[in-house]
């Protein structure tokens, strides 16, 4: 989709095309195996150097600075629509989110999820004993935000909508 953006320079378009082709090869499993000789696992691939941060800059802070530079001359909506950091686990995503929030000087606000079981059956008391509020607040289901949502002005927020049985549902990530 980004390759079709009319404002891209020829160099940007060529770099994105090269990345898109490499990504397709990864998805199709046609990237040459680069497993270490002593490893029997053939699921290793070599990531091209142009996609890697320099070795001395491979920290979380450097990654965030690389993706979200400190440019002041930008349209916030367009700027954030062109950037994202993908994480393989919820724990890593939470670490990135915490670091990004800590980098901002604006006031932090916290919002909390509902922490009760919605059950009208006769065994409600048993359910509440089995699943106390403290336990419910520790659950981190995949695809849903944590119990405590921390926000500051300037923190990117991603709101995903999906359709389930004809109903639109939303899930927010930041």
Residue 91, in any domain of the structure: no
Q: Which two tokens stand for residue 147?
A: 């119990």
Residue 172, in any domain of the structure: no
Residue 149, in any domain of the structure: no
Tally of domains in the chain: 1
What DSSP designation does 151 have? Answer: E
For residue 19, give the 3-state DSSP assignment.
helix
pLDDT in tens, 28-45: 878 776 666 666 666 677
Residue 88, in any domain of the structure: no
Residue 74, in any domain of the structure: no
Of 77, 44, 50, 78, the closest CA to residue 66 belongs to: 50
pLDDT in tens, 70-125: 666 567 777 777 788 888 887 888 889 899 889 888 999 998 887 766 666 666 66
pTM higher than 0.75: no
Residue 161, in any domain of the structure: no
Residue 16, in any domain of the structure: yes
Domain of residue 14 covers 1-33+44-52
């Amino acid at each position: 989709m980004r390759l079709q953006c009319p404002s891209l320079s020829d160099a940007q378009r060529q770099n994105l095309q090269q990345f898109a082709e490499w990504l397709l090869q990864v998805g199709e499993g046609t990237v040459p195996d680069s497993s270490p000789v002593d490893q029997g696992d053939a699921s290793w691939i070599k990531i091209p150097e142009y996609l890697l941060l320099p070795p001395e800059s491979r920290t979380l802070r450097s990654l965030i600075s690389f993706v979200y530079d400190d440019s002041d001359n930008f349209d916030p909506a367009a700027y954030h629509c062109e950037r994202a950091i993908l994480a393989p686990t919820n724990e890593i995503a939470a670490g990135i989110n915490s670091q990004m929030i800590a980098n901002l000087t604006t006031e932090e606000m916290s919002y909390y999820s509902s922490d009760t079981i919605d059950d009208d059956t006769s065994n409600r008391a048993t359910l509440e004993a089995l699943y106390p509020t403290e336990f419910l607040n520790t659950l981190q289901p995949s695809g849903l935000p944590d119990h405590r949502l921390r926000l500051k002005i300037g923190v990117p927020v991603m709101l995903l909508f999906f359709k389930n049985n004809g109903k639109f549902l939303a899930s927010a990530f930041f």
